Amino acid sequence: MNRKVLRVIIPFLLAGSAGALAEPGKLTFHRAPKPLAKTAVTSDWPRFLGPADDATSPETGLLSSFGPGGPALVWEMEKGDSYTCPAIAGERLIHFDNVEDVDRVECRHPETGALQWQFTYPCKYRDRYGYGTGPRASPVIAGGKVYTLSANSLLHCLDLAGGKLVWMRDLGKDYEPGPFFFGHGPTPLVSEGKVIVPLGGPAGVAVAAFDATTGATVWETKHPWPASYASPFVKPLNGRPALLVFAGGDSDPPSGGLLRIDPKTGKLEDAFSWRSTKYESVNAASPVVVSGNRVMLSETYTEGGVLLEYGDDGKAKPVWKAPELKLHFMTPLLVDGHFYGFTGRNEPDAGLDCWDAATGERKWREEFFWRKELGGRNYGWGFFRGSLLRMEGRFLALGEMGTLAFLDLSPAGGKIACQADLFSATQSWTLPALSRGLLYVVQNQKDLVTGTPPRLLCYDFRAGEGGQ
């Protein structure tokens, strides 16, 4: 099928615009996806890490393999600066980025990429290390609303159906959060009618909750630890809901760790210190609840991993420590009592590890290193600091240079089942999203070979009636 380019120009008076304009992302439609199998189980992907906050999809009727060309590309959209994962609910996909100092929230049709609405506002941010200017926190869909947090701490609530502004909070003005190495980064949590945001800063408010309908402050948790880049969530611990916030970003001397908070009242129940002793470090991988009272934390610079056990008093004590369990920003998968995740601070020392969740013993490490020719030169290649997505009992990996692969992983070892280079671009750190048999992959930088600009790509992962 011939490719068709779709381009939409937004008129000056945007429904929902906050006074700044940004041209919509250029869309290229390639082909329609296969029909879903009649028996397929489907799901929304309403927030970063998926519907259960564990990088696992409940969907069925999906591809089990693909060739060296990768799965079929349905559509692609040129995007601006961002490290965000799209959020999908029903017939709406939300993408959040920045173009020339304007934050852009776009609602598109998940199967065609067609633009439904756009909301924009001025947002100028530069971090001290020269990374992208756009948002780090992914959009969240909940209760017919869209919630976004900008790199400079603007919290917006939009109507999902039409993109109208419902409310906005300038958290930079209200709380002076930070300072931040890379901007305000944790994805907000929407839970029980509240939008929960890690903060930090001179006001001494580590976390605050806002009414999801009005934006009014519901509660504030006072603690000196600064916000990190790990996304918070609520899970049952000791038989009752617990808000877990892995704090620890830009602070001198370095400080941070796991905050356990009552999600209804904001009462701080416990604070377990766990952060690198190096100043230039952050806590970025979300904690993993192992059982009814155990939680695993990991950081990459000095401390590594630790398994905590909460007593009936709600206080945490270490069960084991694993200094080499060094997850940088990937939240690991917990499968059959074992953690699987890409560890390592930089590309050369990164690899895929398997760890026993009960003992903290590393079962194996695999670097998955190979050679690749680019522009007539031969380079070392691999997944490096990649990400893992669990689907239909299988492991799907996206390498930070754009390699997509199914991996066969077990406590006995790991191997590549099939792989394809979707592109060759650095900083491909965003976890893919999966909804209704479509996989959404984010390319955050220009392709080193083709020069293709950053894109959001939609792939057909539907097996169809024939199972292929």
Q: What is the mean pLDDT of each run of 10 residues along the chain (468 residues)?
A: 32 50 91 96 97 97 96 98 98 97 97 98 91 94 98 98 98 94 96 97 96 98 96 96 97 96 98 96 96 95 97 96 96 98 93 98 95 85 97 97 98 98 96 98 96 98 77
Q: What is the pLDDT of residue 252?
A: 93
Q: What is the pLDDT of residue 2?
A: 36
Burial (CB count <10 Å: 0-12, 13-18, 19+), residue 300:
buried
Confirm if 28 and 3 have CB atoms less than 8 A apart: yes
Q: What is the pLDDT of residue 9?
A: 29
Q: What is the pLDDT of residue 243?
A: 98
Q: What is the pLDDT of residue 464?
A: 78
Distance CA(232)–CA(287), nearest Å, equals 8
Confirm if 247 and 241 have CB atoms less than 8 A apart: no
Edge-to-edge strand list for the sheet holding 294-299: 288-289, 294-299, 304-310, 316-322
Q: What is the pLDDT of residue 232?
A: 97
The pTM score is 0.95
Q: What is the pLDDT of residue 17?
A: 65
Q: What is the pLDDT of residue 173?
A: 96
Q: What is the pLDDT of residue 466?
A: 60
Q: Across 238-376, where does the E strand assignment appear?
A: 240-247, 257-261, 268-273, 288-289, 294-299, 304-310, 316-322, 333-335, 338-343, 351-356, 362-366, 370-374
Distance CA(290)–CA(121), nearest Å, equals 40
For 81, the 3-state DSSP assignment is strand
